[in-house]
Structure 1
Amino acid sequence: MGAVKARRMPRAVREQQMLDAAVRIFGQRGYTAASMDEIAELAGVSKPLVYLYLNSKEDLFTACIRREARALTEAVRAGVRPDLSADGQLWTGLRAFFTHTARNADAWAVLHLQARTHGERFAAEVTAMREEIVAFVTQLITAAARDVHRDPHLSEGEAAGLAEALVGAAESLADWAGTTEGVTAKQAAATLMNFAWAGLGDLMTGRPWSPPREPETEPVAQAG
């Protein structure tokens, strides 16, 4: 009786295995140092099969960026609880972000470090992801202001600027948490809430910070 043939693995499953291996190698070794031989070996396939499925190292890296960018944005969106107050929504969104980046350190390295520093093609993929997250956070901030008072003074441009600042702070804090021993996702989220919400909370209730009055450039005429 002949040997039973091993069941062939579906292409989609095999491709995900290749992407898993590639994200790990790219994240840990960097795009330039990573080799297709290493990726094929870790995925348990031949190098020609990797090229057959994903064409080139550049296309493989792009596929990794797109998959991990999609996973991160979906995690943040799914993490926000719309039934909560404004601070509760921000808190759950931040916890989802920091939980995902902590659990997927290699993917975060690919998105936040490797993709940004190895050419416009890769950087553009990350920029698209970041713009989507900033737009989502802008919506959260605008909706929160609208809920707190019916006629919010928060302009669309100001909300977008706040979202940009918040996302940038979250990205930097994710890098810090990833290299600082003992920092949990919950602690990282609480750190950013303590930093950001004191100001955002006042803004939501119509108590924005105002800069100190600048001295007059021209002397004020005295009444004679």
Structure 2
Amino acid sequence: MPREVRERQMLDAAVVGFAKNGYQSASMDDIAEQAGVSKPLVYLYLKSKEDLFTACIRRERAALVEAVRGGTSERHTSADQQLWRGLCAFFAHTRAHPDGWSVLHRADTQGEPFAREVAGMRAEITELVRLLLSRAALDAGCEGEFAEREVSGLAHAMVGAAESLAVWANARTDDAPSAKETAATLMNFCWTGLEQMIKGARWSPHR
């Protein structure tokens, strides 16, 4: 069997094992058995448990970012429609690959170098969102200061909310929302508020 096929089998089994048990508790014996290979072969191909976990994170990270980029790739449409499609792609992917999403979500708490890999993924997606929000603000005639100063913070907040919603949606069983329903929840929460900010409306604690 070609090496790349063997490695894919190992990574598939490892993602399931890490998602179910976490990094510390996942067993290399169980992962090898699930992949249908010997444990020495896993170590031969992927060196160590740390390297195996890193490889899983990188594969799942690349797949998720590619899905979001694909959702926002239509250039001849409005910024809100691009953002909507990107969110739908994000939630569809995390729903279709719950183990992969669990690995990425859990990796954030496992320290370096795993958290750094997830931070890189988050930075890529946040930059996509920032560009779309900036474009929406500029198209509406907002001052450059707003586009530069506030849009960056809003992009980080939106990505954080999306990650939290993905965890929430995947945890539901009986009444699990669809990807579009979850995306609509976030668009209603964030985009409606952004539209008001673009128009100059601001909340103040002293009103």
Q: Which of the five TM-score ranges fits, normalised by the shorter chain?
A: over 0.9
Residue 108 (structure 2) pairs with residue 116 (structure 1): yes
1:99 — aligned with what? Answer: 92
Q: CA RMSD in A?
A: 1.7
Letter in 2 for 1:86: A
Residue 127 (structure 2) pairs with residue 135 (structure 1): yes
- In the TM superposition, what is the alpha-carbon distance from 1:213 to its structure 2 partner? 6.7
Unaligned runs of 5+ in 1: 1-8, 216-224
Bigger Cα Rg: 1
2:37 — aligned with what? Answer: 45
Equivalent pairs counted in the alignment come to 204
Deviations 1:40-63 (A, max 9, x none): 111111111100000000000001
Aligned counterpart in structure 2 of residue 23 of structure 1, from 5, 15, 25: 15
Question: Normalising by structure 1, what TM-score?
Answer: 0.86
1:194 — aligned with what? Answer: 188
Question: Normalising by structure 2, what TM-score?
Answer: 0.92
Letter in 1 for 2:178: T
How far apart, in 2, do the equivalents of 1:67 and 1:208 lie? 42
Alignment of 1:1-224 (within 5 A): 9-80=1-72, 81-113=74-106, 115-149=107-141, 152-181=144-173, 182-203=176-197, 206-212=198-204, 214=206
- In the TM superposition, what is the alpha-carbon distance from 1:208 to its structure 2 partner? 3.2
- Higher mean alpha-carbon deviation, 75-84 vs 167-176, is at 75-84
- In the TM superposition, what is the alpha-carbon distance from 1:83 to its structure 2 partner? 2.0
Task: Check conservation: 2:137, 2:147, Cα contact below 8 A.
Answer: no
- SS at the partner of 1:83? coil
Q: 4+ residue runs of structure 1 moved beyond 6 angstroms?
A: none
How far apart, in 1, do the equivalents of 2:162 and 2:7 lie? 31
Tell me the percent identity: 58
Which of the pair is proportionally richer in helix? 2
Deviations 1:77-106 (A, max 9, x none): 111132221221111010000000001101
How far apart, in 2, do the equivalents of 1:170 and 1:54 lie? 32
Unaligned runs of 5+ in 2: none
